[in-house]
């Protein structure tokens, strides 16, 4: 045998051997369900401080680093705003009780939940100002990773998880979020490929799969939420459903009143049926998860689901028991503006453009529908004047911050078309942070909220921010221009 063939044979044997060694590592299973333990939405207190009568929910949309930077700018501004809640002085950042994150927004949401106010400025240093995408590309083409990527049970999504772990989460698990988090309760969502339904990383979801969410790394949930189809491979979870005496949570067992809402019982049945699909672990021994933005790019679905399942009574009892008098929902939407270049030529759009349209059009349309439904929900809630524990109406504020709602300005011109990527130049990061500050301070609902909480609003100079010039990066640290992460080979 020639030396060249011997080397080729040895490399092939090593590759096949490595492939056989890289196997999916299943998550720990459970044999019984204990609803008093685990990372559960149903057991988390709606307020983080004794006597806190305001429930604050933050929602970060998808959109890669663009979404994370925009949301971070909003958090920075909330940190500046002091409020007075039921006799306690605190910042609005400290007042956030629940945070939801989708795709790029899930990176910020999970880090904020784990580290609380310490996320500022740590998140900017550890993620926003790092070239995360370049590191991902290096890992994909690393000779050390080629054997692993050749395995049918390991893909780019798993590499994405490893990078999130290395940069941000340091092997932290959902048990760490449950017991040691410094910030709000985080709800990370992905999309179940097999069902086409959104998938929530809480123990309630994992109960039906008979799995212990506490042993799952946070980085794997964030990678699943961020796994854009055809860019990153789906994230796999094992399924042990049907082996832990699962019964639906009280949410689905709540009887609907026997009146004209009988049709709503069908909605409740559909939600229950979607859970029962996971009980068939012999038919579905594995679950494959992709980008959460495909089914809920704004993170509004969970709250909308609550209303559709007719749980006003369950929800109101919880709010009254915890003496909540005010609900604040802040939605940060990083939707970008399309260039319109396709409509300026007779040339047939290419495959990349078609794929982008197939993915983005349903996401944008579904997001708009969710926004409309939530506006209706807010109006209906406030018109109903649901009484709090002391008889006063529980008021709902919906602060909707949309990147494309920036007024015409140099700042809007720069940020509206920033691509969806896992790297942005420092100047773009700074512009997006400023955009978040402008959107928050220009929101009439936010200004109404700060007046209601009796502190003088800490307003930013929005006119100066809108007309500011881009900040130039130091030439010694200059980075290449960002590219859409669909361009990763």
The 3-state secondary structure of 43-96, one letter per residue = CCCCCCCCCCCEEEEEEECCCHHHHHHHHHHHHHHHHHCEEEECCEEEECCCCE
Distance CA 25, CA 202 (A): 20
Q: How much of the chain exceeds pLDDT 90, in percent? A: 61
pLDDT class for 5, splitting at 50, 70, 90?
low
In Å, how far are 208, 279, 441, 459 from 244, measured between CA atoms?
8, 10, 49, 53
pLDDT tens track for 373-388:
999 999 999 999 999 9
Q: What is the DSSP letter of 143?
A: T
Residue 473: pLDDT band with limits 50, 70, 90: low
Q: Which two tokens stand for residue 334?
A: 């990083």
- To which H or E segment does residue 174 belong? helix 174-180
Quick check: 260 pLDDT over 70?
A: no
What pLDDT is stored for residue 3 in this prediction? Answer: 53
CA distance 434 to 440: 10
pLDDT at 356 over 90: no
Lookup result for tokens 């040895």: 10
Asked whether the predicted pLDDT for residue 9 surpasses 60, the reply is no
pLDDT for 17 beyond 70: no
Q: How far apart are alpha carbons 464 and 474 in whole angstroms?
A: 23
- Among residues 163, 171, 249, 161, the alpha carbon closest in space to that of 205 is found at 249
* CA angle at 77 for the pair 74 and 78, rounded to the nearest 5°: 85
**For the chain, first and last CA: distance in Å?**
36
Alpha-carbon distance of 141 to 483, in angstroms, equals: 18
Which pLDDT score is estimated for 254? Answer: 55
The SS3 assignment for 426 reads helix
| R_g of the chain computed on alpha carbons | 23
In angstroms, how far is CA 301 from the centroid of its own chain?
12
Q: What angle do CA 332, 336, 338 make, to 5 degrees?
A: 160
Kindly tell me if the per-residue pLDDT of 12 is higher than 50: no
Q: What is the pLDDT of residues 435-465, one digit of tens each?
A: 999 999 999 999 999 988 866 666 667 777 7
Stretch among 61-65, 145-149, 284-288, 289-293 having the lowest mean pLDDT? 145-149
Residue 334, φ and ψ in degrees, nearest 5:
-95, 25
Enter the DSSP assignment of 131.
-
Residues with Cβ within 8 Å of residue 457, at least 6 apart in sequence:
81, 441, 447, 450, 451
Q: Which of 373, 433, 364 is nearest to 398 (CA)?
A: 373
- CA 281, chain centre distance (Å): 27
Split at pLDDT 50, 70, 90, the class of 366 is: confident
What DSSP string describes 242-286?
TSS-----HHHHPPPPSSTTHHHHHHHHHHHHHHHGGG-TTT-SE
Across the range 153-165, mean pLDDT stands at 95
Give residue 8's pLDDT.
44
| Cβ neighbour number for residue 17 with a 10 Å cutoff | 10
Burial of 155 (0-12, 13-18, 19+ CB in 10 A): middle
**Contact call for residues 367 and 298 (beta carbons, < 8 A):** yes
pLDDT of residue 205: 94
CA atoms within 13 A on the CB side of 106: 28
The whole-number pLDDT of residue 481 equals 54
| Residue 353: predicted pLDDT | 80
Write out pLDDT tens, residues 179-196.
999 999 999 999 999 999
The dihedral over CA atoms of 387, 393, 397, 398, expressed in degrees to the nearest 10, equals 50
Residue with the bigger pLDDT between 88 and 178: it is 178
Tell me the mean pLDDT in the region 385-412: 95
Q: How far apart are CA 208 and CA 120, in angstroms?
A: 36
- Cα→Cα distances 48→55, 181, 356, Å: 9, 11, 41
pLDDT at 275: 78
The DSSP element (H or E) to which 372 belongs, if any, is: helix 351-384
Q: Would you report the helix, strand and coil content of the chain in percent, each value rounded to 5? A: 50, 15, 35
What residues contact residue 73 under an 8 Å CB cut-off, 6+ apart?
Answer: 432, 433, 434, 435, 436, 437
Average pLDDT over the chain, rounded to an integer: 86
Q: In Å, what is the CA distance from 289 to each residue of 127, 189, 343?
A: 23, 10, 34
């Amino acid at each position: 045998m020639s030396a060249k063939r011997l080397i080729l044979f040895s490399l092939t044997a090593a590759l096949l051997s490595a492939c056989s060694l890289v196997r999916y590592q299943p998550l720990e299973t459970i044999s019984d369900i204990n609803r008093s333990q685990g990372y559960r939405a149903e057991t988390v207190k709606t307020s983080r401080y004794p006597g806190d009568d305001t429930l604050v929910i933050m929602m970060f949309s998808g959109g890669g680093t663009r979404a994370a930077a925009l949301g971070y700018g909003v958090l920075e501004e909330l940190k500046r705003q002091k409020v007075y809640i039921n006799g306690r002085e605190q910042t609005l950042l400290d007042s956030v009780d629940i945070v939801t994150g989708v795709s790029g927004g899930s990176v910020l949401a999970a880090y904020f939940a784990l580290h609380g106010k310490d996320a500022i400025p740590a998140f900017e240093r550890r993620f926003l100002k790092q070239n995360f995408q370049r590191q991902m590309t290096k890992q994909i083409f690393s000779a050390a990773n080629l054997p692993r990527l050749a395995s049918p049970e390991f893909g780019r999504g798993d590499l994405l998880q490893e990078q999130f772990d290395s940069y941000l989460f340091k092997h932290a698990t959902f048990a760490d979020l449950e017991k040691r988090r410094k910030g709000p309760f985080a709800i990370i969502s992905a999309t179940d490929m097999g069902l086409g339904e959104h998938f929530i990383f809480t123990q309630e979801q994992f109960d039906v799969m008979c799995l212990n969410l506490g042993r799952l790394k946070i980085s794997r949930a964030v990678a699943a939420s961020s796994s854009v189809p055809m860019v990153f491979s789906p994230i796999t979870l094992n399924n042990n459903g049907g082996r832990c005496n699962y019964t639906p949570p009280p949410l689905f067992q709540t009887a609907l009143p026997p009146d004209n809402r009988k049709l709503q019982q069908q909605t409740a049945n559909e939600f229950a049926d979607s859970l029962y699909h996971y009980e068939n672990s012999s038919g579905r021994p594995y679950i494959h998860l992709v980008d959460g933005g495909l089914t809920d790019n704004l993170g509004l679905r969970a709250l909308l689901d609550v209303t559709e399942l007719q749980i006003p009574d369950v929800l109101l009892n919880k709010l009254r028991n915890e003496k909540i008098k005010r609900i604040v929902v802040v939605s940060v939407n990083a939707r970008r503006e399309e260039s319109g270049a396709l409509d300026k030529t007779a040339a047939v759009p290419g495959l990349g453009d078609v794929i982008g349209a197939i993915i983005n059009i349903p996401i944008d349309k579904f997001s708009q529908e969710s926004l409309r439904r939530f506006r209706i929900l807010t109006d209906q809630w406030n018109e109903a004047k649901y009484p709090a524990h002391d008889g006063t109406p529980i008021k709902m504020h919906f602060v909707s911050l949309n990147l494309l709602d920036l007024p015409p300005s140099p700042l809007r011109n720069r940020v509206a078309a920033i691509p969806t990527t896992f790297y942005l130049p420092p100047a773009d990061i700074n512009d997006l942070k400023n955009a978040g500050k402008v959107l928050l301070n220009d929101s009439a609902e936010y200004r109404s909220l700060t007046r209601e909480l009796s502190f003088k609003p800490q307003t930013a100079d929005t006119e100066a921010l809108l007309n500011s010039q881009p900040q130039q990066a130091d030439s010694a640290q200059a980075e290449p221009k960002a590219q859409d992460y669909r361009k990763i080979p």
